[in-house]
Structure 1
Amino acid sequence: MINQDEVFVITEDDILKPADKGKGKGGGPRAVASAKGKAAERSTELEETVAERPVASARGRGRKNPAAASTLSLFVCGLGQLYNGDGRLAALFFLSEIFILSFHYFMYMAWDRVRSFAHLFFVSEWEMMLYASSLDFCVIFFAIYNVAQAYRGAEARGGRFDGLHRPLVSGLASLCVPGWGQLLNGQLGKAVFFLFSFLLQAYLIALYLMSPLFRILVDIEPQRLFLDKAIKVGMAILFVTALSWLLSTYDAFVVARYTRRPRS
């Protein structure tokens, strides 16, 4: 009969002893300590393997160049996202660009019909121009976001980008499109600023030359006051455009020339 008053205390050593019975004299406390050490080493190796998996998978996809991605999206919306491997996002940006271009072409070709239709609802041509300009102002932000997203997406896959360090290439790029050279230098903040100023000024010039804005200003009373203001605004736009163009080119060249290449 088992005495019910007896109390048995089971420790960790009692649990590990049955596994070490077949080892003879070597299955004492030292064997238990070595087993614990091996288990700790295995857990450490497992954690290192799990931590290295995202890096290995990122390397398997290939490093992406932010300068290349942002340059592609600068000229065709969605092309930089396609370069980064984001097919759905690239399709969204590209279809949005097609829709925007189609809408502007339709408004340019059918402006007289749209104006006649708007008059039925007591909407003047000047109000229509204000609505269209507000939409186009949002399009400028869409174009800049498209470039910035491609740059950040490539940086997330390829690591921090420190620039190409080619002064002539960066200077010529900003001479063609202000802000482009800053993208090649790895300065996204400056690139966004120069791109915004360039796109805004280019839009205002296109609005003045291709839209019926000048004719609308002539029809508004008093005519002389609006014409004088339009001329002053046009001269200011030309001055700011030339100044930002020169600043962007100079900044891109100087930064690429005097920025040291990081040591690998």
Structure 2
Amino acid sequence: MEKVWEIKDPESYLRKKPTGPKPAPREEKDPSKAYNLSMFYWGGGQLYNDQLVKGAVFLVSQALVLAAAVLFVIYDNELLRSLRASGASLSSMFLGGEALLFFLILFWVSNAADAYRIAARTRKTRFRGTNSRVAPFLGSLVVPGWGQFLNGQPVKGSLFSVLAIIECFSILSVVFTFLAWPLLDSGDARFVIEEIFAVCLIIAPTAPLVWTLSAYDAFKVSHDDLLKEPLWERIKAAYYRGRTQGWVRGVFPQIKGTFLLVLFLIFFIIVVYYWFPTGFYAEVLASMQDLLRGRGMTIVPELIGKLLERMDAMGR
């Protein structure tokens, strides 16, 4: 048997070898927990992710916002008088308040998405969603997109979150503008406020549809783990099921829920169209036009008038 000579580096014997304990493996965080914490209070998910400075800054920011809101409710008259004395108009202050409201809603949702993203980075494997079958549905009932993040679908959750931000701002803007309109000073700022009101008035009625779609999607995905897989993997799985089981037995049962939802929406549209004729909507719009015109608005009543003219022409 031949001898085998092993040549080693003599300097390797002079190097110091680590003798201490091996570093502990990095803890894998739960993205759904991080998202939940940041939705309940700003910075909660960041603190859970060991981002102590960022979490503390977000938490203090929320405390300051709440304190400012309480102080405004208590000392609103004194504050408004002080701002009027400095030359600021109520319309410009209201417009600034709307901008601040939009920023706060955006920051609230964004800080939760940031916590989810950081927690997902700590994992060696892709987060496949929470084990709960109820939490995603309830989350999307509160804020569209919440349930999608809990199901491990951040892209879809981000899309619904953007819609939720727009819808929440539109609803609040319509309510606040309608209540505060008689108090606002005339000028360019008031004209911009009415333009925002007109856009939000068009967007706000679509809120029930966004909430329903988000809640339905979260409920459906939470009860089918295959739907939590990436889109390409689901397409391949459907293709193989179609080849092995046939398209009727292998594919149709997977999409029958969506198919039934589409049929329900079509049926709902048909019933609403025939149950509530055009005259019904014309009366509602005319009443709204008179109400807004009585509040002193001009843009929205004019748009409603043009819409009524178009509906009358179509009815003929």
* Shared fold, TM over 0.5: yes
- Is residue 78 from structure 1 mapped to residue 46 from structure 2 by the alignment? no
- Is residue 128 from structure 1 mapped to residue 96 from structure 2 by the alignment? no
Q: C-alpha distance in 2, partners of 1:75/1:166?
A: 18
User: Partner residue of 1:181?
Assistant: 147
Q: C-alpha distance in 2, partners of 1:79/1:194?
A: 22
Residue of 118, 129, 133 corresponding to 2:83: 118
- Is residue 157 from structure 1 mapped to residue 122 from structure 2 by the alignment? yes
- Is residue 63 from structure 1 mapped to residue 28 from structure 2 by the alignment? yes
SS at match of 2:122: helix
Residue of 108, 120, 142 corresponding to 2:73: 108
Shift of 1:137: 1.8
Amino acid at match of 1:109: I
Amino acid at match of 1:143: W
Q: C-alpha distance in 1, partners of 2:198/2:75?
A: 30
SS at match of 2:6: helix
Amino acid at match of 2:154: L
* % identical equivalent positions: 29
Residue of 136, 161, 185 corresponding to 1:170: 136
1:171–1:250 CA contact under 8 A, matched in 2: yes
User: Partner residue of 1:6?
Assistant: none
User: Partner residue of 1:248?
Assistant: 214
Shift of 1:70: 0.5
1:144–1:192 CA contact under 8 A, matched in 2: no
Shift of 1:258: 3.7
Shift of 1:111: 2.8
SS at match of 1:140: helix
Higher relative contact order at CA 8 Å, sep ≥6: structure 1 or structure 2?
1
Amino acid at match of 1:102: A
Q: Given the two structures, how large is their TM-score scaled by the length of structure 1?
A: 0.67
Shift of 1:69: 0.7
Q: C-alpha distance in 2, partners of 1:189/1:57?
A: 29
Shift of 1:84: 1.7
**CA offsets per residue over residues 56-93 of structure 1, 9 Å max, x none?**
431xxx32100011011111111112222222221111
Residue of 28, 34, 40 corresponding to 2:6: 34
2:106–2:165 CA contact under 8 A, matched in 1: no
1:153–1:229 Cα change, 3 Å: closer
1:129–1:213 CA contact under 8 A, matched in 2: no
**CA offsets per residue over residues 109-133 of structure 1, 9 Å max, x none?**
3332222222223321011011121
Shift of 1:184: 0.8
Residue of 207, 214, 233 corresponding to 2:179: 214
Q: Rg: which structure is higher?
A: 1
Q: Given the two structures, how large is their TM-score scaled by the length of structure 2?
A: 0.57
5+ residue gaps, structure 2: 230-316
User: Partner residue of 1:144?
Assistant: 109
Amino acid at match of 1:83: Y
Larger mean CA deviation between 196-205 and 185-194 belongs to 196-205
Shift of 1:98: 0.7
1:75–1:83 Cα change, 3 Å: same
What number of residue pairs does the alignment pair up? 216
